[in-house]
Amino acid sequence: MKKIVLFTALILLTSIGTTSASLILDEGWNKTFGGSNSDGTYSGQFGGNNLVQQTSDGGYIIAGYTNSYGAGKKDIWLIKTDANGNEEWNRTFGGSDDDEAYSVQQTSDGGYVIAGYTKSFCSGYYDAWLIKTDANGNEVWNKTFGGSDLDWASSVQQTSDGGYIVAGVVNFRALWLMKTDSSGNVEWSKSFSCGWRTNNWASSVQQTSDGGYIVAGYGLNTTGYWDWYDAWLIKTDANGNEEWNRTFGCLYRSSGAHSVQQTSDGGYIVAGWTSCGDGGVLLIKTDSDGNEEWSKIFGISSAIPYANSVQQTSDGSYIIAGSTLHYSISGDSDIWIIKTDSSGNKEWNKKFGGSNEDRGSSVQQTSDGGYIIAGWTNSYGAGQSDVWLIKLAPETMLLPDLALSPSDIAFSNPNPVANEEITITATIHNEGDADANNILIQFYDGDPDGGGTLIGEQVISSITAGGLATAQINWIAQEGT
């Protein structure tokens, strides 16, 4: 009887190292909305960190401004889309002068609440404006708040009692915090100044787990002839009474806080910008008392980028939306999205834009694990600038997919000559979308799971995605019958 010799080759990816993996960010879709004039979403120091939200039906609500439609120069523009970014309806709110939205949220009744400012219906230069709509964007009520100077509402959130917390500025002097009932009637109002400093304002507010509020914004610092801003964080109780406040920055150089969120550990994540050092996007993590745990600055050479929005993601990391060029400078800016780990270390970043000015306002993680981004574009769309809505699919890790050919090699007629050296060859095809590194190929005489003997092995350092590699060993045939 002739002996049948069966050789088996195995691919072992983790025996001596790890294979490489690549992250793919798939732009699921993007949509522009606008007419022949200037339309967009606010992006800057006064708010705009919450201008897009996924709605309960899986679609999206966007608040911005339009000069193409409506009653006046600039009107608040509310746009509702389906899950694929197709417009379902839009509404404008405004009069003969400028009116703009800085914040929007879907409310518990399925409608929406909008915060911003109005110059059309005001008692002073600007008034804060709060608008409540039904689920179809039809106005239910609106309220204006302000005096003879400049007032606006930067941020709004529905509170646990069905009312609303609003943050902004009063008289362009003090950071302002106001609580209303469910009909927009004032329950209490507080103002905060950084010592004797003036020109302070809020950019972001959130109700905290203890029923109080966390507010982020700007505090003006003045020493002699020098003026600069600090990023400012204020914690209050449920009645708006200050519990503590913290400032973040450096001497003679400005910083600002544009967005704040309470994190899963009870602390806070704050995003904004700073001109400290080389300047750039500022990300600060604090404990529950506002003490800094870590801070990061993400810069770009020859520019000072800024963050407008930050959110903790489902994996405990952070997603940031902003722009590559400071809001005070017009020019070739792109939307800039940064993803960090839980310690603020950058995992990836992605830019969106063309040859003109494009700005990022808000980002939110969606129910599928992807992200929805709102901003405005001067590079694409119908007019001078358009509202820009971008959907990113969930992050996907691309891994190698290795196929071995042949996996079994049999000699039966004739047998290999006893004590003669033969060469055994196997081809490995990386059928995946990422490079593979440190691949260990092992050759067995017989079935490795059935007592087969290891007769040789070879390490392949790398196989590119879609590439081929060859492994071979020399083996001395054993005598048998």
Mean pLDDT, residues 389-395: 92
Question: In what side-by-side order are the strands of the sheet with 318-323?
Answer: 306-312, 318-323, 335-340, 346-352
| Whether 245 contacts 235, CB under 8 Å | yes
Strand partners, 448: none
Mean pLDDT, residues 408-434: 64
Note the CATH number of domain 5-21+399-476: 2.60.40.10
For the chain, domain boundaries: 5-21+399-476, 24-398
DSSP assignment string, 88-105: EEEEEE--SSBEEEEEEE
CA distance 420 to 408: 20
pLDDT tens per residue, range 311-360: 999 999 999 999 998 777 777 899 999 999 999 999 999 999 999 999 99
| Whether 385 contacts 33, CB under 8 Å | no
**Chain Cα centroid distance, residue 406:** 46
> Within the chain, what is the greatest distance between any pair of CA atoms?
107
| pLDDT for 356 | 93
Mean pLDDT, residues 45-55: 91
Kindly indicate the confidence band of residue 16, based on its pLDDT and cuts at 50, 70 and 90: very low
CA distance 175 to 168: 6
Mean pLDDT, residues 429-457: 72
CA distance 158 to 135: 15
Closest CA to 230 of 179, 274, 265, 190: 274
Outline where DSSP puts E strands in 431-480.
436-445, 453-463, 468-476
Top-level CATH class of 24-398?
Answer: mainly beta
Judged by phi (left if over 0) then psi (alpha if -120 to 50, else beta), residue 120 lies in alpha
- What Å distances lie between residue 319 and 156, 346, 390, 412, CA to CA? 21, 10, 14, 61
| Whether 231 contacts 218, CB under 8 Å | yes
| pLDDT for 5 | 41
* Residue linked to tokens 């033969």: 422
* Dihedrals phi, psi of 58, to nearest 5 degrees: 90, -5
Gap between the terminal Cα atoms of the chain: 6
Does 274 have pLDDT greater than 60? yes
Does 22 have pLDDT greater than 60? no
Does 198 have pLDDT greater than 70? no
CA distance 7 to 408: 6
Closest CA to 310 of 334, 329, 286, 331: 286
Tokens of 242: 């200050």
Does 280 have pLDDT greater than 50? yes
DSSP three-state, residue 449: helix
Range with lowest mean pLDDT among 60-69, 116-125, 183-192: 116-125
- What Å distances lie between residue 451 and 303, 316, 318, 444, 446, CA to CA? 64, 46, 50, 10, 7
| Whether 153 contacts 164, CB under 8 Å | no
DSSP assignment string, 115-149: EEEESSS-SSSBEEEEEEE-TTS-EEEEEEE--SS
| Whether 261 contacts 235, CB under 8 Å | no
Mean pLDDT, residues 22-26: 58
| pTM greater than 0.85 | no
CA dihedral of residues 350, 355, 360, 364 (deg, nearest 10): -40
| pLDDT for 370 | 95
- What Å distances lie between residue 208 and 33, 216, 243, 295, 318, CA to CA? 34, 13, 13, 21, 18
Beta-carbon-side half-sphere exposure of residue 24 (alpha carbons within 13 Å): 11
